[in-house]
Amino acid sequence: MDCIVIDDDATARLIIKKLCLKSELINVIEEFSSAIDAIKYLNNKTIDLVFLDIHMPTFSGFDFIKTLKNPPKIVLTTSDTNHALEAFEFKSVVDYLVKPVTEKRFNSSLEKLFTFSNPVEIGAEDKIKSDFLYVNVDRRLVKVDIPSIYLVEAKGDYISIKTDTKNYLVHSTLKKIEDKLPSNMFIKIHRSYIINFSQIIDIEEYSVLIRKSVIPVSRSKKNELMKKLNLL
């Protein structure tokens, strides 16, 4: 996957380039200290992915995205955690990396990127589902990017929705959110848990490790889970 890196900080660009080299899945074609220079480049070139800093002089990362008619996939990089909800207003934004970017978090972003870019072909019902949903939190409707969700847990009359940037406690049922999540990305593995199976780190007999959480797998769901995994 060909990409460019846009950041006015040379050290930040270097870190992203080194992480891309380690992955062997991302090929850095060019780097820019200016979003305007990057736009001129993209007028004549086609790439798959942009690592984009939000805060840059004169022309921000958000300005950059708004300028492009057909933007590639975008992973935002920033030292500011306050723009996550705004970031996912843009359909092209796949992830939101907070500096300093660690190798572990970078690799997690790549997993999400490839899941997002190469969805498994399934039924028409899943194809019409949105990339986001709204949850009712403290009488506010909050937009949640679906690929950012890695775990949903039932807690009595509530569900806990855990994402890359924030956790939400919502008065709802596991069944309701299961109906809204695409089956090419999520699976209910237990009566109390739905997982984003691209986020699985390790699998044992009847449990999976996601982030730092060990989640039980029902015997009846084990075969279904294994069928969804890209096994070697």
Long-range contacts of 42-45 (CB under 8 A, 24+ apart): 42/4, 42/68
Cβ–Cβ < 8 Å for 144, 161: yes
Does residue 120 carry a pLDDT above 50? no
Does residue 20 carry a pLDDT above 50? yes
Nearest to 147 by CA among 159, 129, 160: 129
Does the pTM surpass 0.85? The reply is: no
Break the chain into its structural domains and give their ranges: 2-117, 124-228
124-228 maps to CATH 2.40.50.140: no
Nearest to 76 by CA among 47, 46, 106: 106
pLDDT on residue 117: 56
Class of domain 2-117: alpha beta
pLDDT on residue 3: 95
Mean pLDDT, rounded, for 118-124: 43
Q: Are strands 167-170 and 207-210 parallel, antiparallel or unpaired?
A: unpaired
d(CA 232, CA 20): 23
Nearest to 20 by CA among 92, 107, 94, 78: 107
26 against 10, higher pLDDT: 10
The sign of the CA dihedral 92, 95, 100, 105 is negative
Nearest to 96 by CA among 5, 165, 193: 165
Does residue 129 carry a pLDDT above 60? no
Does residue 125 carry a pLDDT above 60? no
pLDDT on residue 115: 63
Does residue 223 carry a pLDDT above 50? yes
For residue 208, what pLDDT band results from cuts at 50, 70 and 90? very high
| Domains 2-117 and 124-228 belong to one CATH topology | no
pLDDT on residue 119: 46
